[in-house]
Every structure is written in C-alpha cells, then in structure tokens.
Amino acid sequence: MHFTSKSGVLKSANKVLKAVDDITLDIEQGETLGLVGESGCGKSTLGRSILQLYQPTSGSVQYRGQDLMQMDRKKLMKVRQKLQMIFQDPYASLNPRMKIGEIIGEPMLIHKIYDKKNIRIKTEELMETVGLNSDFTNRYPHEFSGGQRQRIGIARALAAKPEFIVADEAISALDVSIQAQIINLMKKLQNDLGLTYLFIAHDLAVVRYISDRMAVMYLGKIVELTDSNLIYTDPLHPYTQSLLSAIPIPDPITEKKRDASRVILEGEVPNPEMPPFGCGFCTRCPMKQDVLEKNKINCDLIPPVWNEVKKGHWTACHLYS
C-alpha cells in the first residue's frame, strides 16, 4: 500500500511512501494473529488494506480462495459482511447523530440479514452479549463511557455475523481495568462464535494474552512472525528484542537487574519516504557492526531475506540469512 505526496519548494516532485511493503502472511480460521510495532509502522494501514477500506497498490488479498482486489463493488459488498472492523477510537467511529440501536442495527439493515422487526430484537440481544443494558438503545454515543462505546463498536461489528474481524488498537484508548474486560469479552466471543482476529496493538503483554501467533512490524515490513509465546522466550530479530526489553516489570529489584542487559535503541525511525537502501532497521540496530564483521554483509545496502529460521519461526535479518 503506497501513498504519493508532493514535496519540495515548488511541490512538483512526487514522493512515494511505502506504508505497507512486500508483506505475505496467512491467518488460519479461528486463530488470533497479533500485530505489534511502533506508531507509524503501517499496522492500521495493513488492516484497512486487507478489508479494502484502502485500495492496495498491488498484490492480492485472498479470503477463502477469492481475491478481494479482483471483485467488483457488488460482489465485494456480499463478502464484506463476513469481514468487519473494530476501530481504534470508540467515539470518532460512532455517528453522534444516531442512537445506539440504529448504529448496531445498521449493518443488519444494509446486508438485509433481518427484517425491521427482528433487527430491534437482535440489536437488544447483541447489547446484552457485549455487556450493555438493552434499555439503552435510544441513547446517543456521548452518553456512554469510553469502555461502553467500545462495546457498542464490538456489537456493531458482530451485527453483520462476521467470520473475520480486524481489531485496530481496540483497547489503546481505554483504562487498564476496562482493557481487561474488553479482552476477556473478545476471547469469549471468539470461543462462542468461532471468530478469527487480526489484533493490532502496542502492548505486547496484551497481545501475548489474546494471540496464538504474533507478527512484529517495522517501517512497513514484517520483521518477525511466530508463536506468541516463542516471541517472548526466543526472539530472533534485534527489533523484537528491543521491544521486549522495553516492557516494564512491576518489581524494582528485578527491574534493576535488567538494566545491564536491556536493549536501548538510539535514533529515530527513518523517514518512510526515504527508507534505507538495505535493512530498514540498520540505522538503529545494535547488532549491525557484528553482522558486518562476521558475515561480511553490508546492512546499509543489502535487504535481508524473509527466512524460516526454525519451523514456524520467520524473520528478516542478516543474522539468520
């Protein structure tokens, strides 16, 4: 997914921003794939591209053997019922002029799942399912708390009877106690309804709790992909190691012992309009010099190869090429 922008004094030259670049992954039915990375790395763009909210520049998005990018608008509309999204901001994603009952019932009306009489009944059932009082159908979004609004967003996503849901930072704007409630709710719904999730988040501890596998993203590319527990016990990519090193431990003694082994990144994320020629992480990687000395590989000039180092454990790093 590439974007073009005008740059320069005369705004005449086009620059290409590769928000999502050369990503290949599979998500199995019934699993949760966690996607983590720094802000601006392309996580949300990837999720929106999968659901065709953005029209990808190239490539394909295969859902049950069908390429979503090759579908016309009418056919995509039918498939989109099974592909839904929970947005990051639970307030901005809800129409402030619509009542909650109308918001949750709208997908059922658009996709003609039920008639108007049954839509109200199913709306109330969905509200009870996500932990809301069904008597609140005539209230507006501003009358609810942040956690309640996110529950409304989840109910709206469930209204279309989806099979696959992209949860885009669904808990980042919520208090910690509310985060736990929403995570447990999503896990329960997955078990009850057989849902498949792409769960996008910053918090690695939360992603580990809810995910079966985890993908780490940096500067528009996935740099590591494996089982969520294996990411913690055996991280391969230096960027993954630095992310895990940054997770605070609520124990002063243990935290002090970690200081010596902590991986601290220096510098800023490169400009995505002018990324490094070789490895995108080479400008901040603490292992860059070791690679140059041992393997005679120039990280600045040669892009790493996406490689299955161990069974089911993929990474893109010259240390394992």
What pLDDT does 255 receive? Answer: 64
Model confidence over 130-148: pLDDT tens digits?
A: 989 989 999 999 999 888 9
Is 2 inside a domain boundary? no
Is 314 inside a domain boundary? yes
Distance CA 38, CA 230 (A): 20
Is 54 inside a domain boundary? yes
Backbone φ and ψ for 233, nearest 5 degrees, come out as: -85, -30
Q: Which of 171, 193, 211 is the last residue of a domain?
A: 211
- Split at pLDDT 50, 70, 90, the class of 259 is low
Distance CA 273, CA 309 (A): 30
Is 166 inside a domain boundary? yes
Count other C-beta atoms under 10 Å from residue 121's C-beta. 11
∠ CA 164-80-32, nearest 5°, is 10
- Split at pLDDT 50, 70, 90, the class of 180 is confident
Model confidence over 101-125: pLDDT tens digits?
A: 999 999 999 999 998 889 999 999 9
Domain identity same for 207 and 242: no
Distance CA 242, CA 35 (A): 16
Least confident residue range of 12-16, 74-78, 279-283: 12-16
For helices 116-129 and 146-159, give the axis angle rounded to 10 degrees: 130
Domain identity same for 196 and 273: no
∠ CA 162-167-168, nearest 5°, is 140
Q: pLDDT > 90: what percent of the chain? A: 56
Range of the domain at 292: 238-321
- The mean of the pLDDT values for the chain is 88
Domain identity same for 207 and 246: no
Radius of gyration of the chain (CA): 22
Residue with more model confidence, 6 or 81: 81
Is 195 inside a domain boundary? yes
Domain identity same for 62 and 178: yes
Q: Is 60 exceeded by the pLDDT of residue 83?
A: yes
Q: Residue 48's closest CA among 19, 91, 28?
A: 19
Average pLDDT over residues 142-160: 91
Domain identity same for 200 and 258: no
Model confidence over 193-234: pLDDT tens digits?
A: 999 999 999 888 888 889 999 999 999 999 999 999 999 999
Domain identity same for 52 and 137: yes
Domain identity same for 206 and 253: no
Domain identity same for 244 and 186: no
What pLDDT does 214 receive? Answer: 96
Is 73 inside a domain boundary? yes
Burial of 25 (0-12, 13-18, 19+ CB in 10 A): middle
Is 226 inside a domain boundary? no
Q: Which of 155, 176, 211 is the last residue of a domain?
A: 211
Domain identity same for 53 and 169: yes
Domain identity same for 180 and 270: no
What pLDDT does 296 receive? Answer: 63
Model confidence over 275-293: pLDDT tens digits?
A: 888 899 988 888 876 555 6
What pLDDT does 293 receive? Answer: 60
Model confidence over 87-105: pLDDT tens digits?
A: 988 888 899 999 999 999 9
When divided into structural domains, the chain yields a total of 2
What pLDDT does 4 receive? Answer: 87
Residue with more model confidence, 237 or 296: 237
What pLDDT does 15 receive? Answer: 82
Full-model pTM: 0.89
What does the H/E/C string look like for the chain? Answer: CEEEEEECCCCCEEEEEECCCCCCCCCCCCCEEEEECCCCCCHHHHHHHHCCCCCCCCCCCEECCEEHHHCCHHHHHHHHCCEEEECCCCCCCCCCCCCHHHHHHHHHHHCCCCCHHHHHHHHHHHHHHCCCCHHHHHCCHHHCCHHHHHHHHHHHHHHCCCCEEEEECCCCCCCHHHHHHHHHHHHHHHHHHCCEEEEECCCHHHHHHHCCEEEEEECCEEEEEEEHHHHHHCCCCHHHHHHHHCCCCCCHHHHHHHCCCCCCCCCCCCCCCCCCCCCCCCCCCCCHHHHHHHHCCCCCCCCCCEEEEECCEEEECHHHC
Is 222 inside a domain boundary? no
What pLDDT does 10 receive? Answer: 47
CATH number for the domain harbouring residue 104:
3.40.50.300
- Residue recorded with tokens 């394909």: 60
Domain identity same for 186 and 121: yes
Model confidence over 295-319: pLDDT tens digits?
A: 567 788 889 999 999 999 999 998 8
Partnered with residue 307 across adjacent β-strands are 315
Q: Which of 176, 211, 246 is the last residue of a domain?
A: 211
Distance CA 60, CA 68 (A): 7
Domain identity same for 130 and 64: yes
Least confident residue range of 34-43, 62-71, 79-88, 256-265: 256-265
